[in-house]
């Protein structure tokens, strides 16, 4: 391949265009509520509605980030803060974008913003058998500190355990 062509292909604008755009984690806004609800519904058995996202987006103690690729919202992270603690309420990435390391970037960026707002300890709950999510959280420095029996109710009535995880930011 000619050197000029290799250089041209490696330009960030072209690779961004070809791959759909550069992933960006940024604050979500009220106009994102419908898409966030759609992503949540695609990712979890009991999806949150648009109104629930609108409520969270207007709360002072709630931090919501969106993962944007080009002009498309491909994921989000939501946390609620109290004093110097925060709880990650939900993280989701569109099924078509999974396996690319985007959730790690989303999580770590979100954690950085929580730290900037004064959070020193972060908690979350994850379904015990959700190995991809557990790996994500463990690689991001979270450790298991508890277990909640039959915490998640499945559509067929099955009840699944949750693990309570914690990470200190200080």
Q: Would you state the pLDDT for residue 20?
A: 66
Q: Would you state the pLDDT for residue 16?
A: 41
Q: Would you state the pLDDT for residue 9?
A: 34
For the chain, what is the mean pLDDT?
Answer: 86
Q: Residues 25-42: pLDDT tens digits?
A: 999 999 999 999 999 999
The conformational region for residue 157 under phi > 0 = left, psi -120 to 50 = alpha, else beta, is left
- CATH code reported for the domain at 21-168: 3.40.630.30
Query: What distance in Å separates the CA atoms of residue 13 and residue 31, rounded to the nearest whole number?
Result: 27
Question: Is the model's pLDDT at 24 over the cut of 60?
Answer: yes
Q: Residues 106-116: pLDDT tens digits?
A: 999 999 999 99
- Mean pLDDT throughout 79-104? 93
- Mean pLDDT throughout 91-106? 91
Predicted structure pTM score? 0.82
C-alpha closest to that of 167 among 97, 88, 93, 103: 88
- Mean pLDDT throughout 97-109? 91
Q: Which residue has the higher pLDDT, 151 or 93?
A: 93
Query: What distance in Å separates the CA atoms of residue 130 and residue 58, rounded to the nearest whole number?
Result: 30
Query: What distance in Å separates the CA atoms of residue 151 and residue 130, rounded to the nearest whole number?
Result: 14
Q: Residues 58-78: pLDDT tens digits?
A: 999 999 999 999 999 999 999
DSSP lists the bridge partners of residue 75 as 67, 93
Question: Is the model's pLDDT at 164 over the cut of 90?
Answer: yes
Alpha helices in the chain (DSSP H): 3-10, 12-18, 33-43, 50-58, 102-116, 131-139
Domain spans, the chain: 21-168
């Amino acid at each position: 391949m000619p050197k000029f062509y290799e250089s041209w292909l490696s330009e960030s604008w072209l690779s961004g265009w070809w791959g759909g755009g550069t992933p960006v984690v940024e604050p979500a806004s009220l106009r994102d509520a419908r898409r966030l609800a759609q992503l949540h519904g695609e990712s979890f058995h009991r999806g949150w509605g648009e109104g629930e996202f609108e409520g969270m987006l207007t709360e002072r103690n709630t931090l919501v980030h969106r993962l944007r690729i080009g002009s498309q919202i491909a994921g989000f992270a939501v946390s609620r803060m109290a004093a110097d603690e925060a709880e990650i309420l939900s993280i989701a990435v569109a099924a078509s974008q999974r396996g690319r390391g985007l959730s790690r970037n989303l999580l770590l960026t979100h954690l950085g913003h929580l730290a900037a707002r004064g959070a020193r300890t972060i908690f979350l709950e994850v379904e015990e058998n959700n190995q991809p999510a557990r790996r994500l959280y463990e690689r991001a420095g979270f450790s298991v500190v508890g277990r909640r029996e039959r915490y998640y109710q499945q559509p067929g009535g099955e009840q699944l355990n949750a693990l309570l995880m914690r990470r200190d930011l200080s």
